[in-house]
Structure 1
């Protein structure tokens, strides 16, 4: 039955209105979050470092961060304040946070139906001496996108969570690197002072030897030995001074400081004291399996791959399916209404290649996740052994080597006062005492570095940069 023109126009208007309402409903359920997904990144970081990072998207946020950094730089740095400055001031970290916005845009786009396409055609000609115009109009929607919308949105949600964990991993890694750089810079600065004392002792010994040779009561060979030690001490001091500059500049880079800020901070005079006993980590491996970000990332990657396999199966035999409203009108003729469907026929590829590829990708993700877990457990055991060893060595130097060197020095001073040893023996003992203290500083530095690395091995990622 042919509807009258008024009824046809009413039905067409109703159809268009229903279509518009459906489009609004679909797009309304996909929107951007209030924090851009950064809240999860901040929580993951705080749980692992105790510090809360801040994303800087507005000028007032950047200004507040700059004021806080200036306040922290006005006081001698600590490991915790160094980490806070790095999280506030490192521009590379803020660039990583910008990836959250990109990933969220992909997530929102996946929750919205693709824009329809409008086709319009116009033909003009002359028939029986009369000019005629034929107009062809079509509005086409991607129906397949609507059918697979939930699965596509779930897949993008998994990818968005991956980006969140990658941002958290970058933040925790920066905190770890900053703590290690802080301890190395403090130790290098402290060692410069001790190497300077060795050089001063060697300089005094060398000068005295030259005077005694000139007086004729000291052998030339003994004088050359003192001179050789002085030359070696000078070289060691030069290397130590450069090492202090290098470690400080590495800390400057991690803190994100400019040339003006490179000299704006003060390091403490010495490393923190050694704890009397190392921390016990009975559940270190279990903690790593539950909290290590690279393990969580590998799991999420495997889950996302599994969902991608489900999406591939859903679209295996229909690659492109589009449907839409179409009408056609010509001069002097009644408008023709209808619809069209565009379907890609699987004549040459039935989708088996894509299914096989997805299954292979999933198995690859499963095996990589298992390998990440194996590596994580091994690295935690290795890091804990390094931590216990570093503590034992630092404790040995603190309680045995340094006190022993001090007692030897005191005894030699008594012997020198009793004219039982020469001044050269006394200076040589002073050099050995300083060398023992320097070794103790290095052992203490290694302890704090190992402690930081253990925390990273339990909560962050592979020490060797292996990522799924």
Structure 2
């Protein structure tokens, strides 16, 4: 009686356990960081950044040795940003949790020893989660799909960091350029104030005109202070994005990049977004994972708990007892319909999410592209029309002033108009580069278009 119970059941449980463990998912070497960096680099048209600490340090030092371009700033952020490193650690944690979910529960062992007078009884049993073993091959593909989804979320985070870095980069340069121009304006306003004061004392202009020049100088001084403060704040925002301890090693260009000769032309901007936007791909993958989980719910709707145990008992000098214990959950109150209904509702929700994501993606991309083209045309208008006209007017006014045909006040008024035009052009140029960053991110599906 002992052999049929002892050897075949042990052998069957051993084979079942070995087969289920063979189907379990395994941990990657770096938690998926290298794969995420490579996929993000492909979308960013960059080389993948190194994952080792020493590799990142050397690459950072090489970038900081020269003034940063926008793409260099993105690369530096991907190397150093501590928030990104934390997200990669979270990805590793997610991987461990998903891999653990594919593995059945550890067998439980029970040991008991009972005594009565001079007699004793020793009981030994081991219980194995059979349902977990049987369903392990089904859970593994689902866990792998969920892990792929988690990696796509990490890619989305990398792209979001790239977008935020570009925005901080252009804002830092633009604010610095405005601050420098504000200093020049204040210097010119100071000269105008002193000239107007001298002319007023000589009786050549009215006290009203002199007061206007004094007011312009006071306003220029306030604008210079505000511009310098804004530049310092924008630089610090960029430093945080780059993950630098301080800004002493950060070198930036003196001015914003010039407008490109021609704007980007996207004939099929919506289709391009559908093909490469991360949020659209993520929604589709989530729907696929939900569909697989729905099949698993249907498989386990009647039997969700099935434990099989092997027992071996001894009682004093009596023959040993061996046998098998089976623990089965009886579906008396819940036949699994709630689990299946819940899974089906979740799947319908995921399908609706795919549709909503696709509709929003098309609209966001069209909006971002329209903003990009408008910003380009406006900056180009200031550069090619407004600024040359202001310079032409300034030259004519100066000629008339030198010929004593106009007053000093008219010359100074034209200088103020030219200052306003320059500030408007700098704002339009900054808006264009921010719109370019928004368009890039909209095509990647990392931020909402403005």
Bucket of the pairwise TM-score, normalised by the shorter protein:
over 0.9
1:211-226 residue pairs with structure 2 within 5 A?
211-226=198-213
Deviation, structure 1 residue 217 = 3.7
Deviation, structure 1 residue 117 = 0.8
Query: In structure 2, how many angstroms separate the alpha carbons of the residues matched to 1:120 and 1:51?
Result: 61
CA shift in 2, pair 1:21/1:12, >3 Å: same
Query: In structure 2, how many angstroms separate the alpha carbons of the residues matched to 1:156 and 1:458?
Result: 29
Query: In structure 2, how many angstroms separate the alpha carbons of the residues matched to 1:460 and 1:69?
Result: 27
Query: In structure 1, how many angstroms separate the alpha carbons of the residues matched to 2:125 and 2:131?
Result: 18
Contact residue 376 and residue 462 of structure 1 kept, 8 A: no
Aligned residue pair count: 449
Query: In structure 1, how many angstroms separate the alpha carbons of the residues matched to 2:358 and 2:331?
Result: 41
Deviation, structure 1 residue 46 = 1.7
Query: In structure 1, how many angstroms separate the alpha carbons of the residues matched to 2:238 and 2:172?
Result: 7
* Aligned with 1:303 (options 281, 288, 313): 288
1:207-233 CA distances to partner (integer Å, 9 max, x unpaired)? 222233333443222222222222222
Contact residue 402 and residue 436 of structure 1 kept, 8 A: yes
**2:27 maps to 1:23:** no
1:271-290 residue pairs with structure 2 within 5 A?
271-290=256-275
Contact residue 55 and residue 94 of structure 1 kept, 8 A: no
CA shift in 2, pair 1:93/1:53, >3 Å: farther
Query: In structure 2, how many angstroms separate the alpha carbons of the residues matched to 1:93 and 1:221?
Result: 59
Query: In structure 1, how many angstroms separate the alpha carbons of the residues matched to 2:348 and 2:50?
Result: 36
**Which residue of 2 is the match for residue 179 of structure 1?**
166
1:107-118 residue pairs with structure 2 within 5 A?
107-118=98-109
* Aligned with 2:231 (options 226, 230, 244): 244
Query: In structure 2, how many angstroms separate the alpha carbons of the residues matched to 1:443 and 1:464?
Result: 18
**2:36 maps to 1:41:** yes
1:81-138 CA distances to partner (integer Å, 9 max, x unpaired)? 1011000011110111112222222333244332111111111112xxxx11111111
Task: Give TM-score scaled by structure 2 length.
Answer: 0.94
1:348-398 CA distances to partner (integer Å, 9 max, x unpaired)? 222222222222222111112211111100000000000100110111011
CA shift in 2, pair 1:391/1:50, >3 Å: same
Secondary structure at the aligned position of 1:438 is classed as: helix
CA shift in 2, pair 1:155/1:29, >3 Å: closer
**2:436 maps to 1:445:** no
Secondary structure at the aligned position of 1:141 is classed as: strand
**Which residue of 2 is the match for residue 421 of structure 1?**
406
Contact residue 386 and residue 421 of structure 2 kept, 8 A: yes
Query: In structure 2, how many angstroms separate the alpha carbons of the residues matched to 1:120 and 1:52?
Result: 59
Deviation, structure 1 residue 306 = 1.7
Task: Give TM-score scaled by structure 1 length.
Answer: 0.91
Query: In structure 2, how many angstroms separate the alpha carbons of the residues matched to 1:267 and 1:80?
Result: 12
**2:129 maps to 1:152:** no
Contact residue 162 and residue 300 of structure 1 kept, 8 A: yes
CA shift in 2, pair 1:15/1:356, >3 Å: closer
Secondary structure at the aligned position of 1:33 is classed as: coil
Query: In structure 2, how many angstroms separate the alpha carbons of the residues matched to 1:411 and 1:279?
Result: 37
Deviation, structure 1 residue 189 = 0.8
1:316-353 CA distances to partner (integer Å, 9 max, x unpaired)? 11221111211221102111111011111122222222
Q: Unpaired segments of 5 or more residues in structure 2?
A: none
What is the CA RMSD across the aligned residues, in angstroms?
A: 2.1
* Aligned with 1:434 (options 419, 431, 440): 419
Query: In structure 2, how many angstroms separate the alpha carbons of the residues matched to 1:218 and 1:436?
Result: 27
Secondary structure at the aligned position of 1:148 is classed as: helix
**Which piece of structure 1 moves more, 149-158 or 69-78?**
149-158
**2:68 maps to 1:82:** no
Query: In structure 1, how many angstroms separate the alpha carbons of the residues matched to 2:309 and 2:138?
Result: 23
**Which residue of 2 is the match for residue 294 of structure 1?**
279
Deviation, structure 1 residue 36 = 3.1
1:182-201 CA distances to partner (integer Å, 9 max, x unpaired)? 11111111111222222222
**Which residue of 1 is the match for residue 218 of structure 2?**
231
Query: In structure 1, how many angstroms separate the alpha carbons of the residues matched to 2:218 and 2:387?
Result: 25
1:246-266 CA distances to partner (integer Å, 9 max, x unpaired)? 11111101000113xx12111
Query: In structure 2, how many angstroms separate the alpha carbons of the residues matched to 1:217 and 1:34?
Result: 82
Q: Unpaired segments of 5 or more residues in structure 1?
A: none
Secondary structure at the aligned position of 2:349 is classed as: helix
**Which residue of 1 is the match for residue 121 of structure 2?**
134
Query: In structure 2, how many angstroms separate the alpha carbons of the residues matched to 1:464 and 1:395?
Result: 22
Deviation, structure 1 residue 25 = 4.4
